[in-house]
Amino acid sequence: MKGFLKTFFASLLAIVFAAGGLFILVVILFGVISSMSQPLPQVVNGSVLVFDMSASIQDRPVGMTRDAFIDEAIGGQRLRKISLRTLTRGIRAAASDDRIEGLLLTGSFAVEGYGSGFAALKEVHEAVEVFSESGKPVWAYVVYPTARDMYVISAADTIYMNPEGVVSDTGMSMSYPYLGGFMKKYGVGVQVTRAGDYKAAAESFVLEGMSEPSREANAAVLEDFWSEYLSVIANGAGIEAAEYERMLNELGMLTAVDAERLGLVDELMFTDELIAALRKVSGVDEESNSFRQTSMGDYLLDKVKPMYSSDGFVAVIYAEGTIVNGEGNEGQVGGSGLARVIRKARQDDRVKAIVLRVNSPGGSALASEVIQREMRLAKEKMPVVVSMGSVAASGGYWISAYADRIFAQPNTLTGSIGVIGVFFNYEELAATHGVNFDTVKTTEHADLMAQFRPKTEREMSLVQRHVDVIYDSFLAKVAEGRGLELEAVAEIAEGRIWSGADALELGLVDELGGLGEAIAYAGEQADLGEGPAVMELPEARNFLQDLLSGVSEQAADAKANLALRPLVDLYREVSEISSRFNDPKGVYAVLPYTVVVD
């Protein structure tokens, strides 16, 4: 009877879970049908275009699907993502759209992965400037603006701020986690080898702080980024850059009153006062009793359409995320997957030129070479241009080196031409739990890549030899691709990072500019003109893919017990490290962790 009851309740529980899952699926499908039956959003004549900046601006295309019903059905909120090119196209189009009276910037940018980097936001800033130059007003309303927000809204004609707000800009910094102490404490063995005195990625696993070469390179890049940022803010506010920096050093974060006194904002007002002011510009929306407005999301759905041409296309191919072997996961660049995308593009007779948009800290040396090979083959058939985003370093530079022309922003982080070998072992950790390994083998180095023991000095010397060979190959490829002397490349390599501005002087990039300039150049080289039709690859995920991804993510969050969430987060972090470091040879051209400049 006891066994029967156990089986019965287990079966009953399974039925309950199945019924619950079926109910959720029905709710979601009902939401899908309801969403699909709704009419497409309309742009209101004479309206203010409202851009809520509370989103992650990523390089890759984002599926223009309505996912709000998923949030309603499952009870969660997902971070909005907007494609950089879609957003800038929309803002520029609105500048000449008679239905739009002005542009309002509000909210605060979100950062996820490599999204919302300053190099990308520079292009958003420039698009807002184009809108303003059309003669239409640009307003901004902020409460707790970050440095990213200030960078973009500095292009506005009038900046309003909540009287109780604070400018959350305290300067820029680079911070990396150093795991040397953690690894020792928990018995995780790490052995590293590298080529390049400035190649700091391996340091993260063995040291407890920055080495002097790493600190030197980071400080130099940060100084360039900060100088460019200050010039943009000062120019927008009509103040001296030194005065703004002095105020930050003196006060830390600026209050709304401080910001108004300094000239960073034009007027302090509450939201209701802003609405009243804008109602005088656009008129009153009878339904909401607010000003007449069109959201940026609705405008992009209405205005930004796929491009068609009988003359041919410029294929914009996105390499965004860490470079890994194989297909890669979401937020990664799979070497095999991206190589296949490039191969299909170069074999497509409709494609007349390729622009590779790189926003990557690098990763697997092998995967980077797989991608670079396809880039070189494409170059034999058509113009190949690289547009560097916020980060295009190490393996990200590897895949860029042979382009006909490389564009970067002044605040692009690039270079890091160097190689590391990273090898983990858990012998000590296993021993503390009574686990030992014993091995038989056919050759001396048959278990060279095993993770249950550290490598011998002899084995590490063999690995170093391999790292040196790949580093020499990296240098030779950069020299050949960029038309530089090998000795000159060796001097600026060593794994050192550079700003886009410095990279231009060193010959690592050809021109300062964004994705738009790169596309225009590629179009001209392919005889398609400055405004060619564009094909974006890989394509955005379709509705079903987006739906299933959202369901799985939010279902996992909904089921996770609050007490278990730290463990879930730790598991995800460990999984991310494992997936990033998957080179079969253990050799990488990668930056240390995710580079975030705040």
Residue 420: its pLDDT value, please? 86
Contacts of 313 (CB under 8 A, 6+ apart): 307, 350, 351, 352, 528, 532, 533, 534, 535
Backbone angles phi and psi of 582, in degrees to 5? -120, 20
Residue 547 has pLDDT above 70, yes or no: no
Q: Taking a C-beta distance cutoff of 8 angstroms, is the pair 348, 378 a contact?
A: no
More confident residue, 161 or 431: 161
Q: Residue 295 pairs with which residues in a beta bridge?
A: 50
CA–CA separation, 92 and 102 (whole Å): 12
More confident residue, 528 or 64: 528
CA–CA separation, 204 and 581 (whole Å): 13
Active site residue 168: no
CA–CA separation, 97 and 134 (whole Å): 10
Active site residue 394: yes
| Strands, E assignment, 468-524 | 497-499, 511-512
CA–CA separation, 56 and 116 (whole Å): 6
| CATH code for the domain defined by 313-440+447-590 | 3.90.226.10
Residue 577 has pLDDT above 60, yes or no: no
CA–CA separation, 365 and 587 (whole Å): 6
Residue 65 has pLDDT above 50, yes or no: no
Among candidate residues 81, 122, 199, 352, the one labeled active-site is 199
Mean pLDDT of 116-139: 97
Ranges of each domain in the chain: 1-38, 47-303, 313-440+447-590
- When pLDDT is cut at 50, 70 and 90, the band that residue 437 belongs to is confident
Residue 198: its pLDDT value, please? 83
- Residue 19's Cβ-side half-sphere holds a number of Cα atoms within 13 Å equal to 6
Record the pTM. Answer: 0.84
Q: Cβ-count burial of 511 within 10 angstroms (0-12 exposed, 13-18 middle, 19+ buried)?
A: middle
Among candidate residues 368, 394, 400, 416, the one labeled active-site is 394
- Can the peptide bond before residue 538 be classed as cis, meaning omega within 30 degrees of 0? yes
CA–CA separation, 532 and 540 (whole Å): 20
**Tokens for 170?**
């305290």
**Tokens for 79?**
């971070």
Q: Do domains 47-303 and 313-440+447-590 have the same CATH topology?
A: yes
210 vs 178, 180, 596, CA distance in Å? 8, 11, 16
Q: Any idea which of 65-69, 298-302, 443-447, 577-581 has the lowest mean pLDDT?
A: 65-69
- When pLDDT is cut at 50, 70 and 90, the band that residue 581 belongs to is low
Residue 134: its pLDDT value, please? 97
Rg of the chain, C-alpha, whole Å:
26
CA–CA separation, 393 and 402 (whole Å): 14
More confident residue, 111 or 512: 512
How is domain 47-303 classified at the architecture level of CATH? Alpha-Beta Complex (3.90)
Helix (H) or strand (E) holding 364: strand 362-364
- Region class of 511: left (phi > 0), else alpha (psi between -120 and 50), else beta: beta
Residue 307: its pLDDT value, please? 84
Backbone angles phi and psi of 451, in degrees to 5? -105, 5
- Residue 170's Cβ-side half-sphere holds a number of Cα atoms within 13 Å equal to 8
Mean pLDDT of 315-336: 92
Contacts of 549 (CB under 8 A, 6+ apart): 330, 541
